[in-house]
Amino acid sequence: MGNESSTSVDEATRPITLYARSIEAVAQYIQEKDIKNIVVMTGAGISTSAGIPDFRSPDTGLYANLARLKLPYAEAVFDISYFRNNPYPFYTLAHELYPGKYRPTVTHSFISLLHKKGRLLKLFTQNIDCLEREAGVPGDKIVEAHGSFATQRCIECKTEFPGDRMKEMIQKKEVPRCIGKTCTGLVKPDIVFFGEALPESFHRNRSLPAKAELVIVMGTSLTVQPFASLPSFVREETPRVLINLERVGSLGSRLDDVLLLGDCDEGVRKFADALGWRDELEELWASTNPNKNKKDAYEAPPKTRQERLDEEIEKLTKDIDATLKVTAEANERIRAELEKSATQKPPPSSNPSTDTPSAPTTSSYFGLSHVYPHLKADKLEKPSL
Ligand code: APR
């Protein structure tokens, strides 16, 4: 266990393993040392761009939005003792979160690319959305530390419940009960609720971070133990990369910690650029597009924040130019009209010296001269009455 603190490393102190604390240095380390034992640790933040809210982001997080379920406290939705008394809030949420509705993010595809390149030792995820599997990461490479929707069972007698019936009941927002002859227990997906033990696979693999040659932590607040302790099991000289909107845990306190603070999809794209894997990453992510067989399936990668800003500024300047252009043309036209009317003789009925516009009369220009003073009477046809 390294000496964990949340203080930042002094910029002056040199890393032990990397040539610099930068994503380019990590990319060079992976390629020069042919690093194959990368451990990835993820949380809900890597699925937010798929449309699945995380838990604790203010305003957008699930816990901020569960108030409508009238819970005694937000986490009750995942609390086993609360579930026993009232399973409805969880099944309301399950209806929204159930796998199959969402497409993996480019961050999921980045993890899948690490595996395809033979460099992923293990992925520890806290997520229950199964998007890692949908992105192509094989089950034996994944530790679903908080379980998943993949299987379900009775919370009393542990009898397994069929997957197809579970999917049907969740879609109908019905609460499934045990199929055992004598048991009427509630059925729950194998998601780890507060108050329940983590799966055996977590304990069997928790020695792997100490064997890792590189650790990548993405999209997690590192709030919930024992998952939150994993990064501290990593050896002191092993580089740790955090790709997250905010700094979390002890990441940033060690000499070989690299922080990429911001959107994780943008962060993994930057990482892929440094590795020279960007095209492969975009191609792999495009293959997760459910419409990929349609002719216009290829989706350009979503624009970065900077690209969206540049586009907005360009649009604004275009609008301003257009407005200025119209104004200039209008000014030109008005100037020409004024010049033309200034060179014309005043009509007999008006007195140029006073130059007060005369009230239109039928004998002059059928009453429209005040509208078109520059046009001659014969130009103004007599309106058909
Ligand atoms: N890019 C990068 N980081 C993001 C993004 C994004 N697009 N969206 C959110 N984040 C970050 C947030 O800033 C936060 O630090 O991801 C983290 C999400 O934290 P949580 O909402 O706490 O989710 P998680 O860490 O997975 O929660 C752990 O808590 O309630 C339990 O069982 C539940 O598995 C869950 C566990």
Confirm whether residue 44 is marked as ligand binding. Answer: yes
Q: What is the distance in A from the centroid of ligand 1 to the CA of 245?
A: 9
Confirm whether residue 45 is marked as ligand binding. Answer: yes
Confirm whether residue 154 is marked as ligand binding. Answer: yes
pLDDT at 24 over 50: yes
Confirm whether residue 130 is marked as ligand binding. Answer: no
Q: Which of 66, 222, 245, 269 to mutate to test the pocket of ligand 1 (most atoms within 8 A of CB)?
A: 245
Q: What is the distance in A from the centroid of ligand 1 to the CA of 263?
A: 12
pLDDT at 367 over 50: no
Output DSSP code: residue 161.
-
Q: What is the pLDDT of residue 371?
A: 43
Q: Which residues pair with 124 in a beta bridge?
A: 41, 143
Q: What is the pLDDT of residue 343?
A: 74
Whole-prediction pTM: 0.76
Q: What is the pLDDT of residue 323?
A: 53
pLDDT at 374 over 70: no
- What is the CB neighbour count within 10 angstroms for residue 249? 22
High-pLDDT (> 70) share of the chain, %: 77
Q: Which atom of ligand 1 is nearest to the CA of 219?
A: 16
What is the pLDDT averaged over residues 158-175? 94
Q: What is the distance in A from the centroid of ligand 1 to the CA of 45?
A: 4
Confidence band for 6, pLDDT divided at 50, 70 and 90: low
What is the pLDDT averaged over residues 242-251? 98
Q: Which of 128-142, 143-157, 306-320 has the lowest mean pLDDT?
A: 306-320
Q: Which of 55, 191, 216 to mutate to test the pocket of ligand 1 (most atoms within 8 A of CB)?
A: 55
**Residue scoring higher pLDDT (279 or 65):** 279
Confirm whether residue 65 is marked as ligand binding. Answer: no
Q: What is the pLDDT of residue 2?
A: 42
E-strand spans in 213-329?
214-218, 240-244, 257-261
pLDDT at 186 over 90: yes
Q: Which atom of ligand 1 is nearest to the CA of 243?
A: 2
Q: What is the pLDDT of residue 370?
A: 47
**Residue scoring higher pLDDT (380 or 342):** 342
Q: Which atom of ligand 1 is nearest to the CA of 54?
A: 21
Q: What is the pLDDT of residue 177?
A: 96
What is the pLDDT averaged over residues 157-175? 94
CA dihedral 323, 328, 333, 334 (to 10 degrees): 90
Q: What is the pLDDT of residue 358?
A: 42
Separation of CA 31 from chain center: 29
In which residue are the tokens 């879609």 written? Answer: 171
Q: Which of 6, 40, 57 to mutate to test the pocket of ligand 1 (most atoms within 8 A of CB)?
A: 57
Confirm whether residue 126 is marked as ligand binding. Answer: yes
Q: What is the pLDDT of residue 99?
A: 80
Which residue numbers are catalytic?
Answer: 146
Reference 223, options 328, 355, 78; nearest CA is: 78
Q: What is the distance in A from the centroid of ligand 1 to the CA of 146?
A: 13
- Give tens-digit pLDDT for 292-347: 776 544 455 556 655 655 655 555 555 555 555 556 676 777 777 778 877 776 55
pLDDT at 120 over 50: yes
CA distances 275 to 113, 199, 207, 261, 281, Å, are 12, 34, 28, 19, 11
In which residue are the tokens 């033979």 written? Answer: 118
Q: Which residues pair with 285 in a beta bridge?
A: none
**Residue scoring higher pLDDT (350 or 10):** 10
pLDDT at 349 over 80: no
Nearby residues of 318 by Cβ (< 8 Å), 6 or more positions away: none
CA-nearest residue for atom 25, ligand 1, is: 220
Q: What is the pLDDT of residue 8?
A: 76
Q: What is the distance in A from the centroid of ligand 1 to the CA of 52?
A: 11
- Give tens-digit pLDDT for 255-268: 999 999 999 999 99
- Give tens-digit pLDDT for 25-83: 999 999 999 999 999 999 999 999 999 988 888 888 888 877 777 788 888 999 999 99
Ligand 1 site residues, Cβ closer than 6 angstroms: 43-45, 48-49, 54-57, 61, 75, 78, 126, 146, 219-221, 223-224, 244-246, 248, 263-264
Nearby residues of 230 by Cβ (< 8 Å), 6 or more positions away: 41, 124, 206, 209
Q: What is the pLDDT of residue 169?
A: 93
Q: Which atom of ligand 1 is nearest to the CA of 192?
A: 32
Q: Which of 95-109, 199-213, 284-298 has the lowest mean pLDDT?
A: 284-298
Distance CA 236, CA 254 (A): 7
Q: Which of 33-37, 117-121, 277-281, 315-319 has the lowest mean pLDDT?
A: 315-319
Q: What is the distance in A from the centroid of ligand 1 to the CA of 221?
A: 5
Q: What is the pLDDT of residue 350?
A: 44
CA-nearest residue for atom 36, ligand 1, is: 224
CA-nearest residue for atom 26, ligand 1, is: 43
Distance CA 59, CA 170 (A): 26
What is the pLDDT averaged over residues 209-236? 97
What is the pLDDT averaged over residues 156-176? 94
